[in-house]
Structure 1
Amino acid sequence: MAKLSQATRLAGPVDVATYGEYRIPDTPGPLLRFTGRITADGDFTARPFRYHVYGGWFCPWSHRVAITRALAGLEDIVTMSFVDGERDGRGWAFRDQYGPDPVNGFTLLREVYEATEEGFDGHVCVPALWDRATARLVSNDSRGIGIDLATRFGHLAAPAVRTYPEHLREGIEQLDGWLGPAVNHGVGAAVRPGPARDALLEAFEQLDGRLSRSRYLLGEELTEADVRLWVTLVRYDVGPNAGRTVNPGLHVYPHLWSYARDLYTIPAFRDTTDFATFSRPGALLPDWSAPADR
C-alpha cells in the first residue's frame, strides 16, 4: 500500500458554506460519552507510548491536560498533538498549522470517535485520550484524563510536581465544586450582567483573600486545583473580559493576579500557552512576564 503524503493526510480548508456551522448534537445521553480510566489492572493500564492525547491549543480543558502532562513528566511517555483552531460542521480537523494526525492519519477528529463507536452521533471534542493498544478512544473527560496522568505513571516518569496527592484530593474536589460552576463554567455567562457575573466576581474576591495567605490554593503545594483555575484566569482578560465589560481586569485583585503570573513562570504553564489561539481580535494582553513577587 502506498504511503500517504502529509498533504494527503490533512483536511481541506474550513468550508462553512458547504458543511455549515458546527453544532453540538442534540442526542440523548451524556455530553462526554467516553469516560474510561487508566487503572492498575483494568483494560487500560499505564505503559510507555501506549496513549496519545488529541488536544487543541485554544481549549481550556485541553490546556489543563497539557499542563498536567508536563508537570507529571510525561511529555516523552504520553504523546500529544493538536487540531486546527477553526472548524465547520464536520468538527475539528487536522490542518497544516499543527500538522497531520500522527497516530492514525485521520483528517477529522470525528474519525477518532467513529473508529471507537460505529455511527457515532455525539459531540466531537478535545481533549480526547486514544489508546494505541486497542485502537480506540479511552476518554474525552478532561477531569479523568488529568487525574490519571497525574497519578498512574509515577513508575514510568519522575514528576516535577505531584498535582493530585492523596492527602489533598478531597480539598481539590471541594474547590472544584465551587470554582467549576462559578469560574470555569460561569465566566462565559459573566459577560452579561446577572447572577453569573455576580458569582464570578465574588469568587475572585474570595480567591484574592485566600491567596493573600498562601502561595497556592491549598497551601504551599501546587495541585490540580491550581491547574483547573489557571486556564480560565489566563484567558479572562483576552477572552470574556477583553472589552473590560465584566470588570477593569484581573489586576484589581492583586493577590490573584500575582498568583496567576507566578504560575506562568513555570514552564509547564508558560510553554503550553499560546495567547494567539484564544485571544479575541484587538484584545489587550496584560503583562504576564511582570515579576510576581510571591
Structure 2
Amino acid sequence: MPEIKYASPIDEKKYGSYSALTDSVDSFEEETFRFGERIGKGDYPAESGRYHIYLQYVCPWAQRVQIIIDYLGLGNVISYSYLDPLRDARGWAFRERTGPDPVNGFTLLRDAYLATASNFKGVPSVPAVWDRKTARLINNRYDDTIHDFSTAFANFQTPGVDIFPVELREEIDKLLPWISEKINEGVYELAFALTQQKYDLAVENLYAALDSLEERLSRSRYLFGNRITLADICLWVTLARFDLVYYPLFRANRRRLIDFPNLWGYARELYAIPAFKKGSRFDYIKETYYTNFAYLLYKGIIPALPELDWDAPHDRIRLS
C-alpha cells in the first residue's frame, strides 16, 4: 500500500473550473481516448491481481465496469477505486470521502495519465485501466473495457454467470450501439441542444426509444429473456439517473421513468441485485450533476428534485 495522500479541496479561484479544462482541449476525443490496449490480447493477458480500474460513482460509463466486475464475481481478481465526485480544472481527484489511490498514491487522476504519457494534454477520464505489471495506464475507452471484462476473465468469474454468451453476442452487439445512441447519449443530446429544432428532435428520439423498450419489457423480463446481459447493464446506468437528474436538469421532461411501468419495475428489479446497488451513490450523482452541469446549463437555476424510493415494492410481472 503506497503512502496515503489526498488532493487539496476544490479551488476554482486557484485552478479554474472544470469547464475551463474541457474548453482548453482542441481535440477532446482524439487526445483524451488515446489509450487502447486490450486485455486478453497480446501483452495484456487476463491475470488475477494485475489490473486496477479508476472509477467515479457519478459516471454511468464507469459504473458499468463496476457492475460487470461484481456481477461476474471478479472482485478478488480485478481491483478498483473511486475518485471524489467533484472536480475543478485539475480534473478528478482522490480525497478523504472516497479514499486514496491504493495502487500508486496519486492525488489526481491526471497523474496516472502523465505517468503513462508525459505529453498528455487531454481530459483525464474514467474508467481508466491501470496495469500494475507495466506500471502504466493501458485503456480508457469505455466500450473496450466493458467487452474485455465481460469476456477475457471467463476462467475467473462465477461459474454459470455469463453476461455476454456466445449464442447472443451478435444480437447484443446489435443492440448495444442502439442503446448508446438513443439512451445513454440521447439524454446528453437533449441537455446540450442549443436550438428549439435540435431539442424537439432529441425529445422525439429519446422518448420513441423509451417507448420501444417499454414495449419490449412487457414481453421479456430482461432485454434478452430471463438472463441479465451486458445490454441490461448498459441500459440500466442511464435509467438509474433518469428521474434524479436527466428529467429535471437535462430537460428530458416529457415523462419520468416512473411513468413507464415496465421500465421502472425493471430498473428497480436490477437495483435489488447487489452488484447494481453497490455503486449507486445517488447522493454523489445529485451533488455532481447539480454542481457542474447546473452551472453549465442553467447558470445556477436548479429545479426541484424528485425523491425516489428504489427499494419500494413494485408490481412488475416477472415473466418466467
* TM-score interval (norm. to shorter): over 0.9
Change (3 A) 1:276 1:144: same
Is 1:289 the equivalent of 2:311?
Answer: yes
Determine the structure 2 residue equivalent to 1:252.
259
Deviates more, 1:158-167 or 1:146-155: 158-167
- Report the residue type matching 1:189 in the other structure: E
- Report the residue type matching 2:105 in the other structure: G
- Report the residue type matching 1:272 in the other structure: G
Q: Distance in 2 between matches of 1:128 and 1:111?
A: 12
Distance apart, 1:78 and its partner CA: 0.6
Q: Distance in 2 between matches of 1:158 and 1:5?
A: 33
Determine the structure 1 residue equivalent to 2:166.
166
Is 1:39 the equivalent of 2:36?
Answer: no
Q: Scaled by the length of structure 1, what TM-score is found?
A: 0.92
Distance apart, 1:177 and its partner CA: 2.0
Determine the structure 2 residue equivalent to 1:21.
17
Unpaired stretches in structure 1, ≥5 consecutive residues = none
Distance apart, 1:155 and its partner CA: 1.5
Task: Say if 2:2 and 2:102, in contact at 8 Å, map to a contact too.
Answer: no
Task: Say if 2:55 and 2:126, in contact at 8 Å, map to a contact too.
Answer: yes
Determine the structure 2 residue equivalent to 1:76.
76
Change (3 A) 1:247 1:235: same
Determine the structure 1 residue equivalent to 2:126.
126
Residue correspondence of structure 1 range 214-293 to structure 2 within 5 A = 214-242=220-248, 246-279=253-286, 280=290, 282-292=304-314, 293=316
- Report the residue type matching 2:17 in the other structure: E
Q: Once the two structures are superposed, what CA deviation does each residue of 1:210-269 show, in whole Å capped at 9, x if it has no partner?
A: 000001112222111000000000000001113676124112211111111111111110
Q: Distance in 1 between matches of 2:33 and 2:159?
A: 28
Change (3 A) 1:165 1:93: same
- Report the residue type matching 1:48 in the other structure: S
Q: Which has the higher helix share?
A: 2
Partner SS state of residue 96, structure 2: coil
Task: Say if 2:55 and 2:81, in contact at 8 Å, map to a contact too.
Answer: yes
Change (3 A) 1:170 1:200: same
Task: Say if 2:93 and 2:108, in contact at 8 Å, map to a contact too.
Answer: yes
Q: Distance in 2 between matches of 1:78 and 1:225?
A: 21
Q: Distance in 2 between matches of 1:127 and 1:211?
A: 29
Change (3 A) 1:97 1:231: same
Q: Scaled by the length of structure 2, what TM-score is found?
A: 0.85
Partner SS state of residue 45, structure 1: coil
Is 1:67 the equivalent of 2:67?
Answer: yes
Unpaired stretches in structure 2, ≥5 consecutive residues = 194-198, 291-301
Partner SS state of residue 130, structure 1: strand
Deviates more, 1:190-199 or 1:129-138: 190-199
Change (3 A) 1:286 1:70: same
Q: Distance in 1 between matches of 2:258 and 2:221?
A: 17
- Report the residue type matching 1:265 in the other structure: A
Task: Say if 1:71 and 1:159, in contact at 8 Å, map to a contact too.
Answer: no
Identity %: 42
Change (3 A) 1:276 1:151: same
Q: Distance in 2 between matches of 1:172 and 1:290?
A: 30
